[in-house]
Chains A and B, each alone.
Chain A
Amino acid sequence: MLVDTAPPAAETRRTPRFGFLRSWDTAIILALVASIIVASMTVSGFATSRNVGFLLIDVIPVLLLALPMTLIIVTGEIDLSVASIAGFVSCVFGALWNSGMPMETIIPLCIVLGAVSGALNGFLVSVVGLPSLAVTIGTLALYRGLAFVVLGDQAVTSFPRAITTGLQAKIGSTGIPVWILPVILLVIIFGVALHFTGFGRSLFAIGYSVDAARFSGIGVARTKFWLFVISGTVAALVGVWWTLRYGSARGDNATGLELSVIAAVLLGGVSIFGGKGTLPGVIAGVGLLAILRNALQLASVPEDTLSMLTGGLLILAVVAPNAITWIRSLSRKASTT
């Protein structure tokens, strides 16, 4: 049975550029380009350096979290706890700052805290062998709860203005925020790791078939463990970023952000079952959601329409591939008869 199914499986995996999902990525990238063009022409104030600066700064948290999320979903797992880790880290950041600790000590501590939080997810998923959906629903509640335990309903806002406004510094007069550069560097690192290394291929292998991956010598448990550690670490970066960007450490920082991240990743063509997806597609998914949101906000479309749009696009992203396969099979039937 295994021998029978293996060859075609390997074949479809090795030639994704001819598969449907490749063209889904292309479709999303085209949709992104189209939305930029249409928004620039029809929405006044969209194609200004000021707005582009806002847009790029606002997209940073989702973009960062989407990177490890893509890797995790490619292996067939999920991490729902990222926004809670960011909120938890934000509160610890605020509490430590209140206690008078210098920023240079707090930030590394916060990143370690994120890594440890992710390691708990990773331990429960890979060592204990629990489903990541259940584990991270649990830690979503746990870390968000700990965020409130640390700061209660207080907010820490006494961060130096030099830092909070410094985060919005622009490159010359371009309107492009300076901090998008290290983020782009991270995007490239994740992209190379996923698509051009053995590590990346092993992630697709795990998502495609855990048993096959194990037989071919991939340390499935170890790989998954480290992915959750990476995810927690990036979530900590987002927590620090969020705190300084908004100049406020609060228990409800980044609440619900995991949904936007997952929506963007799935819209970008990553299969929730694992094994399929590309990082360029995900970046396009993140960009498309951000641009639609921004353009519609500028056009004073109400917030509720935006949330319906996010939900609708998410469902479209999962329904469309099946619908198209179905239509193709119908037309194939029609042409053979």
Chain B
Amino acid sequence: MTTLTLQRQPSMAWLGTLTRSREFSVFLALVILIAVTVAANPRFLSGQSIKDLLLNSSILVILAVGQAIVIVTKNVDLSVGSVLGLTAFATGKIFIALPDLPVIAMLVIGIAFGAVLGAINGALIAVAKVPALVVTLGTLYIFRGVDFAWAQGQQISPSDLPADFLALGAGTLLGFPYLALIALAVVMAFGLYLKNLRSGREFYAIGSDVQAARLYGIRVGRKVFSAFAISGALAGLAGVIYAAKYGNLDATAGQGLELNVVAAAVVGGVAIAGGVGTVYGAALGALLLTTITSALPVLGVSPFWQRAMIGVLILASIVLDRYLALRTERRLRGHDSHAG
């Protein structure tokens, strides 16, 4: 029997693992949603609307990747919407001051600026050892307040921004929007990092069991700090992209976005209790939430249902996680009794 399993494993195991994975179930939900919507209106799958979908989801995908890393360490970052807003406004201001700044330099500045804001969160959490929920709730107010104080009701319009920067927001490469390609690069880079590098695995170790991680020699404070710096840097990147995509900027950019970001990660299978989940799942979660938004009008459902459905999805995801965790626990216990 052992040989039989061994023989069958190479051919079938990957399929079993794939279909059992949380990412797969989110992917399946996405496929079903798209299939149903296409049945209602075939134009939903036209080239243009796919492009819109990718374009609309890229900001949420980038933010969800950062959030996933933070949640994996058993923390949460509620300040991402404010970091995005502040960076987006800063982007406009910088371009007004330096119209000839290359786009790539602006991206780097945005990432660095976001990383600094994230580092403020990280330092408060890691050094002062206070809960992330409270700290990022505080910086949500503070960063937004700075944004309002800076903007003073002022608005930045697309005419203030260089044309090649706006082209980043609207342009495509081989039919793919630049923004979607940037989001894809972020997902792949952090996906590979978290899965394959020791430094990436350490985030999971902290989220699963802080004490064990500490005993193992992981510098927990430094690692949590870096998770928040990464989340801030990605929110900074998202802020620059937001500026490129919308062009019209005031101090309210990204307000209330934190809920959708946390929702995307949770729906994508990143357990709020830490230690579980992937950035691929979070990205799929973001894609699913965005697709729902554009599918509702096509399906003839009032767009007012959107937020309620996001709520139902979050609840369904955490109930599913709980169910799966209990099942695994039972199975492990079953094995234990056999061994004993």
The residues of A with any CB-CB pair to B shorter than 8 Å are 78, 124, 128-131, 133-135, 137-146, 148-149, 152-153, 251, 259, 262-263, 266, 272-273, 302-312, 314-315, 317-319, 322-323
Contact = CB atoms under 8 A, between A and B. Distances in A.
A160 to B, nearest CB: 28
A141 B262 CA distance: 11
B311 A145 contact: yes
A268 to B, nearest CB: 13
A145 B307 contact: yes
B146 A308 contact: yes
Interface in B289-340: 302, 304-312, 314-315, 318-319, 322
B137 A307 contact: no
Nearest to A325: B129
Contacts of B102: none
A312 B138 contact: yes
Interface string B117-143: 000000010001111011101111110
Given A142-B314, A272-B133, 14 more contacts: A129-B322, A130-B319, A130-B322, A131-B318, A141-B263, A263-B137, A302-B149, A304-B146, A304-B147, A307-B144, A308-B142, A311-B145, A319-B128, A322-B130
B229 interface: no
Given A129-B322, A318-B134, A323 B266 contact: no
B273 interface: yes
Contacts of A305: 145, 149
Residue in A131, A133, A152, A304 with the greatest tally of chain B CB atoms within 10 Å: A304
A266 B272 contact: no
B141 A139 contact: no
A319 B124 contact: yes
B24 interface: no
A13 B166 CA distance: 60
Given A308-B149, A314-B141, A138 B311 contact: yes
B130 A137 contact: no
B95 interface: no
Given A137-B259, A266-B134, A272-B133, A142 B312 contact: yes
Contacts of A135: 315, 318
Contacts of B322: 128-130
A263 B78 CA distance: 14
A306 B302 CA distance: 36
B211 to A, nearest CB: 13
Contact of A141 (B124, B139, B145, B308): B308
A317 B76 CA distance: 19
Contacts of B139: 311, 315
Given A133-B76, A135-B315, A311-B142, A262 B304 contact: no
B314 A145 contact: no
Q: Top 4 closest A-B pairs, CB basis?
A: A142-B311, A145-B308, A311-B141, A145-B307
Contacts of B134: 262, 266, 272, 314-315, 317-318
B148 interface: yes
A137 B266 contact: yes
B124 A307 contact: no
A233 B306 CA distance: 25
Contacts of A311: 137-142, 145
Nearest to A310: B141
Contacts of A142: 307-308, 310-312, 314-315
A308 B310 contact: no
Contacts of B138: 263, 311-312, 314-315, 318
Contacts of B144: 304, 307
Contacts of B147: 304
Interface in B97-132: 124, 128-131
Residue in B131, B134, B266 with the greatest tally of chain A CB atoms within 10 Å: B134
A214 to B, nearest CB: 19
A66 B30 CA distance: 39
Given A259-B137, A315-B139, A273 B131 contact: yes
A49 B272 CA distance: 48
Nearest to A138: B314
A141 B148 contact: no
Residue in A134, A144, A310 with the greatest tally of chain B CB atoms within 10 Å: A134
A323 B128 contact: yes
Contacts of A139: 311, 315
A314 B311 contact: no
Given A133-B272, A149-B308, A307 B145 contact: yes
A149 B302 contact: yes
B308 A146 contact: yes
A177 B135 CA distance: 35
Contacts of A322: 128-130
Contact of B266 (A134, A148, A262, A309): A134
B49 to A, nearest CB: 24
25 contacts: A129-B322, A130-B319, A133-B272, A137-B263, A138-B312, A139-B311, A141-B311, A142-B312, A142-B314, A145-B305, A145-B307, A145-B310, A149-B304, A152-B302, A153-B304, A251-B304, A259-B137, A272-B134, A302-B149, A304-B251, A305-B149, A307-B144, A315-B134, A318-B135, A318-B138
A319 B129 CA distance: 8
Nearest to A314: B138
A45 to B, nearest CB: 24
Contact of A145 (B137, B141, B262, B306): B306
A309 B146 CA distance: 11
